[in-house]
Structure 1
Amino acid sequence: MSESFSPSDLAAIEAAVREAEARTTGEIYCVVAEESSDYAETPLAWAAGVALLGPILLLLIGVTVELPNLFGGWTAAQADAGRAAAQAALVDAVLLQGLLFLATFLLGSIPAVRRRLTPRGLKRERVRRHAQELFAAKNLHATRERTGVLIYVSAAEHMAELIADEGIAAVVEPGVWERAMAALVAGLKRNEPAAGFAAAIGLCADVLAEHFPARPGDNPNELPDAVVVLPRT
């Protein structure tokens, strides 16, 4: 998704942030990340699960393992043949499990497949966690009045987060930001990222200006206005 952000899009978003911050002492900071996590555990989990189903798959395709009848009379030759058959079936099952594990792991390691196999709830948790980490790393919590707002988009997951610092959270209910996030997501879905960001930034500015209006001569720009684009690591 970040490839769809042209230089003019980035400039338009930066201008929207600058215009919004002229109306409020709040600080709006925008970040676009390629992906919030590598989800390395996803192919491992799927590979293990599929491999464990190997014996069941054997039964479904008609391959059965017949163990010796322990309660009947057996000759030495029959006992040896039974043990050999059981050992061969066990080896086949283990080989099948190994092949299933390897094939599933390799398939799940393809980025597009890995993202589809990752549960949405896990992706949402990772996006939220990465946004929180960036909030701290970019010093949004260090503004003079604790009025920083992070607007974060994670491209691969097609998800967005908004985090407001404690100075804002003390007077603004979390649900107030839903309109801004809906406008952002709608713009991204239309492949109009600049329009989506601009709409979201404007709505955030409306909220911030109501509670934290600009003070003439005392409204320092504490954070960069430019969009930060984070490549996939």
Structure 2
Amino acid sequence: MLFSQADRARIAAAIADAESRTAGEIVVIVSTAPQRYPATALSIAVLAALVLPLIAVLLGWSPAVLFADWGDTSATGRALRQIEAFVAVQTLVFGFALALVQFGGLARRLTPHGLRRDRVHRDATLQFKARGLEATAGRTGILIYVDEPEHVAEIIADEGIFTRVAPDDWADTITALTDGIKAGRAADGMVEAIARAGAVLAQHVPVMAGDINELPDGLIEI
């Protein structure tokens, strides 16, 4: 668990403090659920099932290993059994490789980093929409999203902020957040990141008369 109850209270207070100086609505979500990559596992399993039995045959493997009465059958029977043996080995290799890659933690390691980042971005975008960040009055929602297992953090801003703040302006926010997590001070990094995001928002999207808090300030953990 990254955050204690005291940490959550600190983060909620940091959000409220940052929002007191801006019309922006800050939402913080931390995902601790590990990503699954079934497409990678299936691809590796299929490749292993196609290649490994073929290599075994080229190295001299014989279906006679599986059939004790191999030499007692006709040439036609041996050919049929050879096909059956090859398919059986392919099936076994596929099942073993699929289980090893999917449940042995290899799927994540074998998935390219860019694809893993795309998965995190997709999840962040879904959360952005699901949490109502694009439904604020001034389109001023901003999501600070952290995928803890993937060690990826990103910021998604709604139209009212995106058109005023350059993407590079969030670099210090992301750096403070990731540095804190790497150093084992996730709560400190999050509080610092929220403060820096609040400073950026206060500069470009200052608080307006009659502004109300449209979204909850507490940390959301999924």
TM-score range for the pair, normalised by the shorter chain length = 0.7 to 0.9
Q: 2:8 aligns with which of 7, 10, 16?
A: 10
TM-score by length of structure 2 reads 0.87
Q: How does 1:180-199 map to 2 (within 5 A)?
A: 180-199=173-192
Bigger mean CA deviation after superposition, 184-193 or 109-118 = 109-118
Deviations 1:122-148 (A, max 9, x none): 221111011111111111111121111
The letter of the residue matching 2:218 is A
Deviations 1:47-82 (A, max 9, x none): 1111111333214543379xxxxxxxxxxxxxx854
Q: Are the counterparts in 2 of residues 36 and 126 from structure 1 also a CA contact under 8 Å?
A: no
Is 1:92 matched up with 2:90?
A: no
Specify the code of the residue in structure 1 equivalent to 2:180.
G
5+ residue gaps, structure 1, are 66-79
Of 15, 21, 24 in structure 1, the residue corresponding to residue 22 of structure 2 is 24
The one-letter amino acid paired with 1:10 is: R
Q: State the Cα RMSD in Å.
A: 2.2
Find the counterpart in structure 2 of residue 153 from structure 1: 146
Residue aligning to 1:227: 219
Distance in 2 of aligned mates of 1:9 and 1:139: 24
Moved more, 49-58 or 15-24: 49-58
Question: Structure 2: 5+ residue runs without aligned partners?
Answer: 64-72
Q: Which amino acid aligns with 1:41?
A: A
Q: Is the 8 A contact 2:37 2:102 kept in 1?
A: no
The number of residue pairs the alignment matches comes to 214
> Deviation of residue 29 (structure 1)?
0.3
Contact 1:141 1:148 in 2 (8 A): yes
Please tell me whether residue 133 in structure 1 is matched to residue 131 in structure 2: no
Contact 2:153–2:174 (Cα < 8 Å) also in 1: yes
| Identical aligned residues as a percent | 40
Question: Cα–Cα, structure 1 residues 38 and 55, in superposed 2: closer, same or farther, change >3 Å?
Answer: closer
Change in 2 beyond 3 A, CA 1:111/1:203: farther
Q: Which has the larger radius of gyration?
A: 1
The structural deviation recorded for 1:227 is 0.6
Q: TM-score, normalised by structure 1?
A: 0.83
